């Protein structure tokens, strides 16, 4: 249904172009008419626009309902009544996997575009960063939810297969029970030989059923596995649930690490700035006039020197990360480097 809706949306795109042509044509006709004809043209144009908006709204609502239906199916714990019901649910679940895989390329393209915008320091990089983290997180949760549902369906299928084979085997045993328990040995030689042939046929039939009974003995592991899963679910403690959530949180953190905001550097004190400028302890460093004045002021107890101020010329070439500026002229800016906390401030003029 979702694939059909995607095809329907592509048809809506072409229909939207036709609607725009009709509206433009009606707009060009209005100056040529007046009175009733002008009113009729306006009414028809408004009807087309209103119908088009209603169609778009209905299509959007249907898309939302289809997505909700997919989420409901994936998270549903509905237990089918027979093997055919399980197989139907498994086929639907595979179709969901196909839908997810079909959008994997769009997922990769979106993240790649997000990385590019972040590398260019886009003005809305915080919003881009949040969207990328949200996308990666929901992708991980979706994959985990699909896998859990798939394992659940596989287990139910094995249980129903076991129940079916066990019912067939039990019916065969019940059908043969009367013959095995019979005490009739025959009244004559012919009757005894006939009973002997019938017994030999029963032994051959029992030999053919041997594989089925062995398979049922192996499938009893399925019932033990189902019981184990139920016990684990009933024994789930707050500690185990917290550990599971912590593991999921760590997995998401590893996947979204590249989109996390960079750590802000801690401002250096004047003493730390002097040490950093002079070089690491035990290593020769080059002492600049600024670091020397700061060190001397600290040693003598005098206040540090004043702020450093200067003009900076900058050429405005980009209006945004993807659009070049129309006027690429040089601008003069005024910057002040604070000696107290090491912050750099920029101003349009002095």
Q: For 90-146, what is each residue's pLDDT tens digit?
A: 888 888 888 888 888 888 899 899 889 888 888 888 888 888 888 888 888 888 888
The chain-wide mean pLDDT, for the chain, equals: 74
- pLDDT tens digits, 177-214: 777 777 777 778 887 788 788 878 877 777 777 777 77
- Centroid of chain to Cα 254: 15
The residue length of the chain stands at: 350
- pLDDT tens digits, 305-347: 556 777 666 666 766 666 776 666 666 777 777 766 667 777 7
* pLDDT given at position 280: 46
Q: Which residue has the higher pLDDT, 15 or 286?
A: 15
CA angle 134, 136, 137 (to 5 degrees): 65
Q: Are 290 and 308 in contact (CB under 8 A)?
A: yes
Q: Which residue has the higher pLDDT, 234 or 241?
A: 241
Q: Which residue has the higher pLDDT, 106 or 61?
A: 106
Instruction: Return the structure tokens found at 148.
Output: 């859990």
CATH number of 2-112: 1.20.58.60
Question: Considering Cα of 61, then 64, then 68, then 70, what sign does the dihedral take?
Answer: positive
- pLDDT tens digits, 68-89: 665 555 555 566 777 888 888 8
Cα–Cα dist 48/51, whole Å:
5
Does 287 score more than 60 pLDDT? Answer: no
Q: Of 162, 294, 287, nearest to 217 (Cα)?
A: 162
Q: Of 226, 325, 343, nearest to 273 (Cα)?
A: 343
**309 contacts: CB under 8 Å, gap ≥ 6:** 334, 335, 336, 337, 350
**What mean pLDDT is predicted for residues 278-294?**
48
pTM given for the model: 0.47
For 63, other C-beta atoms within 10 Å of its C-beta total 15
């Amino acid at each position: 249904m979702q694939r059909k809706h995607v095809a329907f949306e592509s048809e809506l795109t072409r229909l939207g172009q036709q609607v725009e042509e009709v509206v433009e044509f009606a707009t060009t006709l209005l100056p040529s008419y007046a009175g009733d004809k002008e009113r009729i043209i306006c009414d028809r144009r408004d009807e087309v626009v209103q119908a088009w908006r209603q169609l778009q709204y209905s299509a959007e609502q249907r898309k939302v309902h289809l997505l909700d239906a997919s989420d409901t199916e994936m998270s549903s714990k509905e237990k089918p009544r027979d093997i055919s019901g399980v197989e139907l649910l498994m086929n639907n679940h595979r179709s969901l996997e196909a839908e997810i895989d079909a959008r994997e390329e769009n997922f990769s393209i979106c993240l790649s575009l997000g990385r590019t915008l972040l590398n260019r320091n886009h003005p809305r990089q915080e919003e881009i960063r949040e969207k990328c983290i949200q996308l990666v997180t929901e992708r991980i949760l979706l994959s985990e939810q699909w896998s859990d549902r798939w394992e659940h369906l596989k287990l139910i299928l094995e249980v129903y297969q076991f129940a079916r084979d066990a019912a067939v085997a039990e019916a065969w045993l019940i059908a043969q029970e009367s013959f095995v328990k019979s005490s009739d040995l025959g009244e004559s030689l012919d009757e005894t030989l006939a009973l002997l042939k019938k017994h030999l046929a029963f032994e051959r039939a029992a030999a053919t059923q041997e594989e089925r009974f062995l398979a049922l003995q192996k499938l009893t592991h399925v019932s033990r596995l189902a019981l184990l899963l139920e016990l684990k679910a009933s024994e789930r403690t707050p500690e185990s649930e917290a550990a599971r959530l912590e593991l999921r949180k760590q997995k998401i953190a590893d996947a979204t690490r590249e989109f996390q905001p960079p750590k802000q550097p801690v401002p250096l004190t004047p003493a730390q700035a002097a040490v950093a400028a002079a070089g690491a302890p035990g290593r020769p460093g080059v002492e600049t006039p600024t670091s020397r004045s700061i060190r001397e002021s600290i040693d003598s107890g005098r206040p540090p020197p004043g702020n450093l101020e200067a003009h900076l010329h900058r050429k405005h070439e980009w209006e945004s990360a993807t659009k070049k500026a129309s006027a690429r002229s040089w601008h003069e800016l005024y910057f002040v480097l604070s000696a107290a906390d090491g912050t750099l401030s920029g101003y349009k003029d002095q």
